Structure 1
Amino acid sequence: MTDAAVRPATSRRTPAGGAPTAPHSADEARAADASEPRIDVTAVTDLLLGTWAGTRREAREMIKDPVFWRVEGMPMAEHRERVLAQLRLLVERGGSRRAFPEEYGGANDNGANVTGFMELVLADPSLQIKSGVQWGLFASAIHQLGTKKHHDRWLRQAMDLELPGAFAMTETGHGSDVASIATTAAYDPATEEFVIHTPFRGAWKEYLGNAALHGRAATVFAHLITGGVDYGVHCFFVPLRDDEGRFLPGVGGEDNGVKGGLNGIDNGRLHFDHVRIPRENLLDRYGSVAPDGTYSSEIASPGRRFFTMLGALVQGRVSLEGAATTATALALHIAITYGNQRRQFDSGIGTDEVVLLDYGKHQRRLLPLLAQNYAQFFAGDELVKAFDDVFSGRGDTAEAREDLETLAASLKPLSTWNALSTIQECREACGGAGFMAENRLVGLHHDLDVYVTFEGDNNVLLQLVGKRLLSDYAKRFRRKAPAALARYAVGQTAGRIFHGAGLRQLGQTVADLGSTARSVELGLRMEQQHELLADRVERMVADLAARLRPAAKASPEEAAILFNANQAELIEAARAHGELLQWEAFSDAVASVDDPGTRQVLTWLRDLFGLTLVERHLAWYLVNGRLSAQRAATVSRYVDRLCLRLRPHAQDLVDAFGFAPEHVRAPIASGAERERQDEARAYHAALAASGEAPVPEKSLSRR
């Protein structure tokens, strides 16, 4: 038998028979084909770290110190004290001051603040969240909702952790529904005091970081009542404990105890029994009460005033979006590095065992998630830039704040949901090793689980986005002539995308080129991806608007029933909008790249992201006539081809995250697996060469 008869079929990218000779790196791919591109890893790291790359690197350098690392298996009480001590170290190293005014020792750099805190998730998600409670919520409420008298009195203490605090918004009975909370702050003009009260058990403040042990004060959200009028939810500074840690009179609480994750944070619940605080403790940037009880506000509309106050605290959603993206990148780094080293099963023709990432299923399960993660990094940087523009004052307008709220509510759900699904997929892709606590994937999943309901349940946030999309749609067609609306409707229902954006010509291309794969590549590039994704959003919003139009003339009860019947579609339209934003951010990032090899590989990765989105929603495209059944089938085949193209670049793409070994801290991604595999291969090769290897039983039957 000749060598050719037993050698696997060859291909530039993925040979047959389990792909034992496929290139595992861009270097190997280039050695096989000099025209193969590769990325400039350092340049891509800069691109991923974004506008505040310097701050990210500064934070990553700081958390290389083991004193900041999570210790797996640590008892809850010890973990809580460790994280509190870590917060004190952050203060010592200047990590708590970035967002606050210079006159109080801050740096007045909001973008740097949130990006710095995002990176703490690499050390311990409990550290990231507890620091967010102290400085992103408690101190930020004093800063953003208070005025100079409040800043002078409490801000420096909060910045320096001399005044640990809780952010008391959520109630047991009303989680994301802040407007319906039951805690009251009734003004007593005789004593010039507010009386803070939780009238029943469901009104207790719930799930509050720093509430169980460490918090000495809280920013409490309650209905401001004066002169018999409820002026809506406002924020109040309320002392909780004395210097010995005992609750003050009228204040009570309980420890939430062990949670599914984030057990380094002392979450608890608080209640108030007619607790009196001075009138000056109302954080009165958006509404104030005079000594005689007269209420005043520069914002006349109660609804706009309420949303303006909540909008001042949007940085929590911005931080969660970025932290989830970074944690997802860590999981992908671990799983892809392991998959590029771990060998399992031979190809069936007597070759060496095959590296996991050479298997088509392994590529399919991980590489689209890698593309998604890149999209999140680029969209997240746009979100932080929008946040910094508003909170720096450079672009602080009512319209900009509304856009920022919508952008944060669009991206935070997608990033946090994706974190859970990706980390779980990475865990499974690493087999039993992924289930070991030392390899971090299980712990990351536990800790990030609650991110999907932190700072607003994801579905509630997407509902807000959907309402904004409908509002913008209504404005777009307000006072339009019926004839214009009719023309628009006809254009939408006639299959505008399939028949007007190049995909109709795809059939002719197939005939000319004789290759479906080649023609799909020509027909599903950037412009067509954008058309497909954008049209889906526009069509879904238009359909929703049409279905909800009768609500304008219906009774409130009938309108509520109609809206509820379409709620799922509204949330799905908002999700499609967020996916479009991510794709557009990815495309903008690719366009900014000068190096041809980097641009080519990132273009493939962007295409993988875009077509994976199309594939995920193929049923919609088919039902709505945007793709034929034949074209829909070619989408999945093209996704497969992109995975094959990107396989040699997978390690470069995760190395570009810029994680040092001190950030990864997972033995299976440390090179130890490669050493084990090399040892095993060397052993078997030496045994075979010695002539002393046992004879396989199967070979006996051939004699």
Structure 2
Amino acid sequence: MVDTASKPASDHVTRPDRTQYTAQTGPIDVDAPPAAVDVAALGRKLMGTWADIRVAAREFAKNPALQRIEGLSLDDHRARVFGQLKLLVDNGQVHRAFPKSVGGRDDHGGNIAGFEELVTADPSLQIKSGVQWGLFGAAVLHLGTERHHQKYLPGIMSLEVPGAFAMTETGHGSDVAAIATTATYDPETQEFVIDTPFRGAWKDYLGNAAKDGIACTLFAQLITNGVNHGVHCFYVPIRDTATGEFLPGIGGEDDGLKGGLNGIDNGRLHFTDVRIPRENLLNRYGDVAEDGTYSSSIASPGRRFFTMLGTLVQGRVSLDGAATLGSAMGLTIAITYGNQRRQFTAGSDTDEEVLLDYQRHQRRLIPRLATTYAQVFAHDKLLVKFDEVFSGKADTDEDRQDLETLAAALKPLSTWHALDTLQETREACGGAGFLVENRITSLRADLDVYVTFEGDNNVLLQLVAKRLLTDYSKKFAKADAGALARYVVAQAADRAYHGTGLRSLAQTVADFGSTARSVGQLRDPQTQRELLTDRVETMIAEVATRLRNANKLSKQKAADLFNSQQNELIEAARAHGELLQWEAFTEALETVQDAGTKQVLTWLRDLFGLGLIEKHVAWHIIHGRLSPQRAQAVSAYIDRLVARLRPQAQSLVDAFGFEQEHLRAKIASGAEAERQAEAREYYREQRASGTAPIDEKTLQKKSK
């Protein structure tokens, strides 16, 4: 609840520079039109394409039986979450993505949308359900054929068969192609023999492996007739269903207590001469005949590998959405608290200031709110693309590559942002933020691993960078190094001096002589787009020029050359992801009908875009895209935008639609507002009755 206590007229002042200040809201540009947010309509828009499913899932998440209980022991938390999976089955939450032939709904986008909302109940529940149905079950669905669907999916969907997704190895995490587990075909018995030949080949960090799983989808190098055909997936029983003990040849360990997500029984598995029937190969993309002959509809081993892994992209898609929800929850808690908590009598002899009235507090939270909005809109576009690919509406190789690149670009940004935002919101709430009862520390701990699982963020951005390089090289397939170098120089010169809007922006600064009045071009979305796009293009062009002759070098020298550009490539990919988010925000703006909401969201979009430019301002100055004066204008306008958005901050977080049953944070419940009102009334009554003690400082002033 926002503090709405009335203010005396003297608290409102107009300064000569045409900026108004109020004790409640801080500086406001009076030339800006008044704006108010239609919270209900904006909330519906933030729910995205599958709004009805999100609303229903969030309502379901209000069930106390689904929610985390802080302070549970490891065993109790695991047991509670496993029991919660059964509630999901009973509610039908987990069946959306599965085929209608086995009782599902073939709704891939809706499935992910509903699944993401479980983060409000307990991230452990979200991720454990993701292991069961989004990884273990999805591997059978997407890598198996109809006979596998009929045989395995009913038990997976009903939770009769809890399972693990055995891809990652202790020695190989992100480099899946190099995993060491083998599945060697024996034509005499028509069986595959599964082996983890050394300790580094053990399957590790697997949800459901330590305790609950009785089967797994296992990824191994398929070897038949002495030929390794690369990584394939197999359905492997791992425990006796009656006793819960490991089957012969299988062993494992419990990963134990983790930094978060302790409702999930992560563990490791190892295999020694474990035999499974030939039919347990999930053979959608590669098969082995009875005599050991290998066949595949995809001739290229590399393309086959990436096609198989691409079918499992939904983990990255869902993490992008869940991390964004985590950021939104943290910001809702911190901004609500900041609107109620008072500290220091900066502008009054009697009343303390609301925290969110301090510029630094606004700068800490409101730009992160802008980024979170950008992520919400970008995620919905990602989810639509995901649904188009997996529903078959747009299922070409190019569509799948676009989906994989989009997921690899957005998941790192949203998961890193979640950790940054939750840490900042924790600090912004002071000691109260450190209390477990206020959720932020637990969210921060649980979401920590999101940055490294389903693909380490830096590795994912390398995949994006390679795609950008490939697209760039297609434009210059026959160009020599000199031509490329000349292109980069020409491009840089054109961008610096003749790029859309940039020259006139510089002239504006020079003519007006004031950074405060040079913001006209900065508000232009074309200027923002130009600066953001140019950074991606130039970084890729520069790296491509340096790598141009790599194919003429030895393998080692080529690797060394590529490694020397790794950091620049990752930064370029990150810039590409940021551009995608900005574009999604801008597209979303075009569909907003309410004038007040559109004005506020435009300020928020501008804050996001200019915040990116400010973050990378050194690059823009070094490359001649911004002069120091223009860079100063960027920061000055950001300060103005933050001040404009301050009165709208509560509405913007209210639009996320979280109720107290979702937040479960006492400092965001209105309790702080009640405490502050009680304290203010106490001192007001003292002053009114004349019983307030005299301040020593007052006596000292009178004596002088």
TM bracket, shorter-chain basis: over 0.9
- Hey, what does 1:239 align to over in structure 2? 237
SS in 2 for 1:504: helix
SS in 2 for 1:599: helix
- Hey, what does 2:62 align to over in structure 1? 64
**In structure 1, how many angstroms separate the alpha carbons of the residues matched to 2:342 and 2:43?**
28
Contact kept? 1:503, 1:523, Cα under 8 Å: no
Deviates more, 1:5-14 or 1:44-53: 5-14
1:643 aligns with 2:642: yes
- Hey, what does 2:309 align to over in structure 1? 310
- Hey, what does 2:469 align to over in structure 1? 470
- Hey, what does 2:319 align to over in structure 1? 320
- Hey, what does 1:22 align to over in structure 2? 25
Provide closer, same or farther for how the CA distance between residues 486 and 419 of structure 1 changes in structure 2, counting only shifts above 3 A.
closer
In the TM superposition, what is the alpha-carbon distance from 1:633 to its structure 2 partner? 1.2
In the TM superposition, what is the alpha-carbon distance from 1:699 to its structure 2 partner? 1.0
1:415 aligns with 2:414: yes
Counterpart selection for 1:212 from 210, 213, 222: 210
- Hey, what does 1:576 align to over in structure 2? 575
- Hey, what does 2:198 align to over in structure 1? 200
AA aligned opposite 1:395: A
Provide closer, same or farther for how the CA distance between residues 146 and 7 of structure 1 changes in structure 2, counting only shifts above 3 A.
closer
For each residue in 1:486-530, what CA deviation from the matched residue of structure 2 results, as whole angstroms up to 9, or x when unmatched? Answer: 763343121515532212112433465565323223344211000
> Which runs of structure 2 are paired with 1:47-86 in the superposition (5 Å)?
47-86=45-84
In the TM superposition, what is the alpha-carbon distance from 1:101 to its structure 2 partner? 0.4
Counterpart selection for 2:223 from 215, 218, 225: 225
- Taking only aligned residues, the RMSD between alpha carbons, in angstroms, comes to 2.0
> Which runs of structure 2 are paired with 1:58-137 in the superposition (5 Å)?
58-137=56-135
**In structure 1, how many angstroms separate the alpha carbons of the residues matched to 2:12 and 2:700?**
25
**In structure 1, how many angstroms separate the alpha carbons of the residues matched to 2:67 and 2:73?**
15
Q: How many residues of Structure 1 are paired with residues of Structure 2 in the alignment?
A: 693
In the TM superposition, what is the alpha-carbon distance from 1:479 to its structure 2 partner? 3.4
- Hey, what does 2:439 align to over in structure 1? 440
Contact kept? 1:64, 1:663, Cα under 8 Å: yes
In the TM superposition, what is the alpha-carbon distance from 1:325 to its structure 2 partner? 0.4
In the TM superposition, what is the alpha-carbon distance from 1:182 to its structure 2 partner? 0.4
**In structure 1, how many angstroms separate the alpha carbons of the residues matched to 2:344 and 2:546?**
54
> Which runs of structure 2 are paired with 1:448-467 in the superposition (5 Å)?
448-467=447-466
Q: Percent identity?
A: 65
Contact kept? 2:26, 2:358, Cα under 8 Å: no
> Which runs of structure 2 are paired with 1:230-309 in the superposition (5 Å)?
230-243=228-241, 244-309=243-308
- Hey, what does 2:693 align to over in structure 1? 694
SS in 1 for 2:402: helix
**In structure 2, how many angstroms separate the alpha carbons of the residues matched to 1:468 and 1:572?**
14
Q: Which runs of 5 or more residues in structure 1 are unaligned?
A: none
Contact kept? 1:6, 1:349, Cα under 8 Å: no
Deviates more, 1:513-522 or 1:565-574: 513-522
Provide closer, same or farther for how the CA distance between residues 569 and 508 of structure 1 changes in structure 2, counting only shifts above 3 A.
closer
Provide closer, same or farther for how the CA distance between residues 485 and 184 of structure 1 changes in structure 2, counting only shifts above 3 A.
closer
- Hey, what does 2:145 align to over in structure 1? 147
**In structure 2, how many angstroms separate the alpha carbons of the residues matched to 1:424 and 1:172?**
29
- Hey, what does 1:652 align to over in structure 2? 651
**In structure 1, how many angstroms separate the alpha carbons of the residues matched to 2:497 and 2:256?**
55
AA aligned opposite 1:206: D
- Hey, what does 1:175 align to over in structure 2? 173
Contact kept? 1:125, 1:447, Cα under 8 Å: yes
**In structure 2, how many angstroms separate the alpha carbons of the residues matched to 1:545 and 1:700?**
74
**In structure 2, how many angstroms separate the alpha carbons of the residues matched to 1:473 and 1:351?**
63
SS in 1 for 2:155: helix
- Hey, what does 1:669 align to over in structure 2? 668
**In structure 1, how many angstroms separate the alpha carbons of the residues matched to 2:480 and 2:74?**
65
In the TM superposition, what is the alpha-carbon distance from 1:596 to its structure 2 partner? 1.1
AA aligned opposite 2:443: L
- Hey, what does 1:680 align to over in structure 2? 679
Question: Normalised by the size of structure 2, how large is the TM-score?
Answer: 0.96
Deviates more, 1:451-460 or 1:348-357: 348-357
Provide closer, same or farther for how the CA distance between residues 13 and 333 of structure 1 changes in structure 2, counting only shifts above 3 A.
farther
> Which runs of structure 2 are paired with 1:351-500 in the superposition (5 Å)?
351-479=350-478, 488-500=487-499
**In structure 2, how many angstroms separate the alpha carbons of the residues matched to 1:5 and 1:267?**
61
Provide closer, same or farther for how the CA distance between residues 612 and 35 of structure 1 changes in structure 2, counting only shifts above 3 A.
closer
**In structure 1, how many angstroms separate the alpha carbons of the residues matched to 2:572 and 2:206?**
32
Counterpart selection for 1:44 from 42, 60, 65: 42
Deviates more, 1:279-288 or 1:546-555: 546-555
Contact kept? 2:216, 2:236, Cα under 8 Å: yes
Contact kept? 2:328, 2:653, Cα under 8 Å: yes
AA aligned opposite 1:22: T
SS in 1 for 2:95: coil
AA aligned opposite 1:212: A
Contact kept? 1:15, 1:21, Cα under 8 Å: no
Question: Normalised by the size of structure 1, how large is the TM-score?
Answer: 0.96
**In structure 1, how many angstroms separate the alpha carbons of the residues matched to 2:562 and 2:486?**
27
Deviates more, 1:631-640 or 1:126-135: 631-640
Deviates more, 1:518-527 or 1:326-335: 518-527
**In structure 1, how many angstroms separate the alpha carbons of the residues matched to 2:232 and 2:498?**
53
Contact kept? 2:408, 2:463, Cα under 8 Å: yes
1:589 aligns with 2:569: no
SS in 1 for 2:70: coil
Q: Which runs of 5 or more residues in structure 2 are unaligned?
A: 1-7
For each residue in 1:83-118, what CA deviation from the matched residue of structure 2 results, as whole angstroms up to 9, or x when unmatched? Answer: 011100000000010000011100100000111110
